[in-house]
Chains A and B, each alone.
Chain A
Amino acid sequence: MSQTYHYLVRRLHSFAGIFPVGIFLLMHLFINSFALRGEAAYNRAVGFVNNIPGLVYLEILLIGVPIAFHALYGLWVTYVTKTSIFQYYYFRNWMFYLQRLTAVITLIFVVWHVWVLRIVRVFTGTEMTFLTVQAWLANPLYLTFYIIGLLAAVYHFSNGLWSFLVTWGITIGPESQRLTLYVCTVIFILLGIAGINSVYAFIR
């Protein structure tokens, strides 16, 4: 039945944004932060991830497929929206718009990021080390795009988390939605600082 299908797909899209895509973002930022402890610590953390058994399968099934689904269906969701931010200057309307704007920025960033730092590696056979990332981030253009992409992804996750709670009927009333707004704002700030801090470790 097409009706159930539409409902299911849209809900799966919301679910996939947090599990596993959001969780993966948190793990990724966590692993990145090992750079703060120096080159050796970062290389050990990356080495640990690279030695996970069946890594390629996990990457495809738990990360690649859900991200591709979330992104492609999300593009459709973005397409069927008509922007009205200059007609309705309401806070949530702007957040709604930014959610879609950051979606597109994040998608472009992730495709590029995965291509240069993951897929190209398969062809060239180069190891992923602190120095690889350092050389890459030495380009000011890449660095700027990386920070924009990082903040877009973190915003999309934080606001998406707020939206997820409404979409699944968990935060129903205005008080609970206000509280989760504060919590998600703090999450956005903390993840943003943590992410940029890790980047800083590579360029200092």
Chain B
Amino acid sequence: MSEILVKIKRQDGPKSKSYWEEFKVPLKTNMNVISILMEIQKNPVNAKGQQTVPVVWDCNCLEEVCGACTMVINGVPRQACAALVKDLKQPIVLRPLTKFPVVRDLMVDRNVMFENLKKIQGWIPIDGTYDLGPGPRIAPARRDEAYPIATCMTCGCCMEACPNVNSRTTYIGPAAIAQAKLFNTHPTGAMNKEERLDAVAGDGGIVDCGNAQNCERVCPKLIPLVSIIAEMNRETVFRGFTRWLKGKPQKAAFDEPIG
């Protein structure tokens, strides 16, 4: 029976030193990287024949829509569930994402992506004390523009491949910028357009993009991140100019204390 050679970069805890461990896994038909990891879990013996602890990884949907099993597979960030063994060069090299803190082995903490979504206000505020009624209709053209961005699963591939997302910057990355466009495209979301644009133009915002365009190349959802960032560049430039040229909106007179 043939075997697959797998090299895994392991780390016992957030502060532990990383090390490489090799495994030989029996080849079965239709295997993906997740099933390799499951084989190791069943029989945690490394290539040297030594007993070891099973490799820890994160996964959920197993159909490339949740992004949980994202790791660096043969040098490219992608989902382990969608990485089929028959398409991969051996030895298969697995590493945790490098732009996020490692929890253990292949499991990382991508909380920073959630924080970035909060920064750009990645939601539509409709909560209130009374029924606001139906929202405005969305033009089909806007919907077509928005749908691909809505497939983003916050997997972190774009951040992993971006040379400007690293420990020296606070760059929020392509995913968060794209989400700002998604919610600005929605007619109800557009009511908070300026706030999102100001966040995108803020610290660690869109200006940290250096046009390396790796994000679009590695995006598993084929989101046109390059065009989205370029369009947000235009929007923030216009926003910056109008904000400065027009000045802040004048408050109504009765807001001001008299005397």
User: Which residues of A are in contact with B by a Cβ distance under 8 Å?
Assistant: 2-4, 6-8, 10-11, 77, 79-84, 87-88, 90, 92-93, 96-97, 163, 166-174, 177
Contact = CB atoms under 8 A, between A and B. Distances in A.
Nearest to B218: A88
Given A90-B217, A166-B233, A6 B163 contact: no
Interface in B219-259: 224, 226-227, 230-237, 240
A11 B207 CA distance: 7
Interface of B: 75-76, 161, 163-164, 166, 168-169, 198, 201-203, 205, 207-214, 217-218, 224, 226-227, 230-237, 240
A174 B214 contact: no
A7 B166 contact: no
Contacts of B205: 3, 6-7
Contacts of B226: 166, 174, 177
Contacts of B169: 80
B202 A168 contact: no
Contact of A81 (B202, B210, B236): B210
B213 A168 contact: no
21 contacts: A2-B203, A4-B201, A7-B201, A10-B207, A11-B207, A80-B169, A81-B166, A84-B212, A87-B75, A88-B161, A90-B217, A92-B211, A93-B212, A96-B163, A96-B212, A168-B233, A169-B233, A169-B235, A172-B231, A172-B234, A174-B224
Given A7-B201, A96-B211, A177-B226, A168 B161 contact: no
A84 B233 contact: no
Nearest to A165: B230
Contact of A174 (B168, B217, B227, B240): B227
B237 A81 contact: no
Nearest to B213: A92
Contact of A169 (B198, B208, B230): B230
Contacts of A166: 211, 226, 230, 233
By Cβ-Cβ distance, the 7 closest A-B pairs, closest first, are: A169-B234, A96-B212, A10-B207, A169-B233, A92-B213, A3-B202, A172-B230
Interface of A is mostly: helix
Given A96-B211, A169-B234, 5 more contacts: A2-B203, A3-B205, A7-B236, A88-B214, A174-B227
B213 A172 contact: no
Nearest to A77: B210
Given A7-B205, A87-B75, A90-B217, A81 B164 contact: yes
Contact of A83 (B75, B163, B209, B233): B163
A122 to B, nearest CB: 37
Contacts of A172: 227, 230-231, 234
Nearest to A1: B202
Nearest to B212: A96
Contacts of A170: 234
Given A3-B202, A171-B230, A172-B227, A80 B211 contact: no
A174 B211 CA distance: 13
Contact of B202 (A7, A80, A169, A177): A7
Contact of A168 (B214, B217, B237): B237
Nearest to A84: B163
Contacts of B210: 77, 81, 96
Contacts of A82: 163-164, 166, 168
A84 B234 contact: no
Contacts of B234: 168-170, 172
B243 to A, nearest CB: 9
A80 B166 contact: yes
A90 B213 contact: yes
A95 to B, nearest CB: 8
A11 B206 CA distance: 11
Given A3-B202, A7-B207, A96-B211, A173 B163 contact: no
Contacts of A92: 211-214
Nearest to A11: B207
Contacts of A2: 203
A166 B224 CA distance: 14
